Amino acid sequence: MSELPRLTAAQAAARLGVKPESLYAYVSRGLLSRERNASGSSFDPLEVEAFALRRRRIAPGPVEPAGGGMPLMVLDTSLAHLEDDELFYRERSAARLARESTFEDVVRWLWDAPALRGPDDADLALARRTIATLGDAATPLDRLVVAVTAFATTDPLRDDPSRAALLRVGARLLLGLPAALTSAGSSEAAIADTLWRALAGRPREDGARLLDAALVLVVDHDLAVSTLAARVAASARGSAYSVVSAALGAFDAPLHGHASRDAVRMLRAVREGESPAAAIARAVRDGGRGIPGFGQPLYAAGDMRAVVLRDLLDAAPGGDEVVALVDAVAAEVARHAALRPNLDLALAALALWGDMGDDAGSVVFAIGRLAGWMAHARDEYDEKPMRLRPRGRYVGPAAAD
């Protein structure tokens, strides 16, 4: 029997109903194989057909929420969407943006903002003094919360309800919050450079670049609880500062913003000589929320954000040592559960590589996601006010006669 003619990349993408970049993403993840010659890439038609059938079985039906809860509503969003296990910000691949663009470039594009302007030196100094009053027991997220309030108190236009004010304050916070976590300097430096100085224990070649990519990858991801909180505040026409404060309140939680903390501790234990099995067992026992850094139900083949950040870290000087820890833990998990690494494990690996604290991943996540919160708030300002007020249904005991 003669072999079936192989498919070109365009034919394989058409059969799967995906863009060529999604097709090559499947190849890079080992989900499809290809052959390359002078004429380009070609694909086995039977393998492509089998993969198409697997995708069809996965695709139908609504996606279960990441927290296992029940969706209260479905909201239209023009920012982020998932297509064939790839994350897109509008029509652009988040993976490509993370590799090729700076965080500032992405923010300016998403916000349609020609420039980003941070706070002046006096306002920044007040934010730093406010943070200093918290003492050593304060978490990094505690410091971000009070810094938001400090920046609000020095802004005479803090209650401006316009869409333009959202972007003005968003830029003020994106540039000001990382600088407020440092002891000196202005808010004019690149956000990733400033944040690296605030969080990292030592200089690292490519450190700021990797941090920049992480910030891009966390900008938005469907309607996480913090994003919904931001939109609810915007629905009530809260100020930009109120929107960020509401979002941080929902973000400051073990199932959301703190999820990378236990993953850092797990990886650090393996680096210090503990076996992956023992480190995983302790993390599961102590955390009580499953395996930290694993599982993301929005993806069938694994969290693409984790894949991108892992690959970038692997190529960085000394990054292969941390990636080896990640791979060892992932291999042990795969022996017992069908779970793949998620963004939180990748942020944990970045924190470990940069000699950062356990909560560094939370700070990176919050700063990057702030760009998404502002974009969502701007969209919500275009909707009818107070539309995100669900009606309650009483299910308590009946009234006494």
Calculate mean pLDDT across residues 25-43: 82
How far is CA 283 from each of CA 80, 146, 286, rounded to the nearest angstrom?
32, 30, 5
Q: Let me know: does 8 contact 44? Beta carbons within 8 Å.
A: no
pTM of the predicted protein model = 0.83
Domain extent, residue 268, equals 259-353
Would you place residue 24 in the very low, low, confident or very high pLDDT band (cuts 50, 70, 90)?
confident
Is the residue at 25 inside a domain? Answer: no
The pLDDT value given to residue 60: 43
The CATH number given to whatever domain includes residue 108 is 1.10.580.10
Tell me the average pLDDT of the chain.
Answer: 90
Residues 247 and 296 placed together within one structural domain of the fold:
no
Is the residue at 137 inside a domain? Answer: yes
Q: Extract the runs of DSSP E, i.e. beta strands, from 136-275.
A: none
Checking if the pLDDT of 399 tops 50, the result is yes
Checking if the pLDDT of 71 tops 60, the result is no
Look up residue 308 and give its two tokens. Answer: 């991108």
Closest C-alpha to 27, from 298, 301, 221? 301
Is the residue at 72 inside a domain? Answer: no
* Dist CA 236 CA 259 (whole Å): 29
Is the residue at 37 inside a domain? Answer: no
Q: SS3 of 191, please?
A: helix
218: left (phi over 0), alpha (psi -120 to 50) or beta: alpha
Residue 139 φ/ψ, nearest 5 degrees: -80, 165
Residues 281 and 347 placed together within one structural domain of the fold:
yes
Q: Extract the runs of DSSP E, i.e. beta strands, from 90-228.
A: 92-93
Is the residue at 226 inside a domain? Answer: yes
pLDDT tens, position by position, 109-139: 999 999 999 999 999 999 999 999 999 899 9
Residues 149 and 98 placed together within one structural domain of the fold:
yes
Which letter does DSSP use for residue 254 in this model? T
The pLDDT value given to residue 378: 95
Residues 114 and 248 placed together within one structural domain of the fold:
yes
Residues 231 and 165 placed together within one structural domain of the fold:
yes
Q: How many CB atoms lie within 10 A of CB 235?
A: 19
Q: Let me know: does 254 contact 234? Beta carbons within 8 Å.
A: no
Q: Let me know: does 227 contact 373? Beta carbons within 8 Å.
A: yes
Residues 243 and 273 placed together within one structural domain of the fold:
no
* Dist CA 232 CA 35 (whole Å): 50
Residues 115 and 226 placed together within one structural domain of the fold:
yes
Q: Extract the runs of DSSP E, i.e. beta strands, from 306-372.
A: none
Instruction: Indicate the number of domains in the chain.
Output: 2
The pLDDT value given to residue 389: 85
Is the residue at 99 inside a domain? Answer: yes
Residues 349 and 363 placed together within one structural domain of the fold:
no
Checking if the pLDDT of 352 tops 90, the result is yes
Look up residue 238 and give its two tokens. Answer: 């809260």
Q: Let me know: does 199 contact 357? Beta carbons within 8 Å.
A: yes
Would you place residue 300 in the very low, low, confident or very high pLDDT band (cuts 50, 70, 90)?
confident
Residues 241 and 133 placed together within one structural domain of the fold:
yes
Checking if the pLDDT of 272 tops 70, the result is yes
Q: What is the DSSP string of 164-196?
A: HHHHHHHHHHHHHHHHHTSSS--S-S-HHHHHH
pLDDT tens, position by position, 226-263: 999 999 999 999 999 999 999 999 999 988 999 899 99
Residues 322 and 204 placed together within one structural domain of the fold:
no
* Dist CA 55 CA 50 (whole Å): 9
Residues 143 and 236 placed together within one structural domain of the fold:
yes
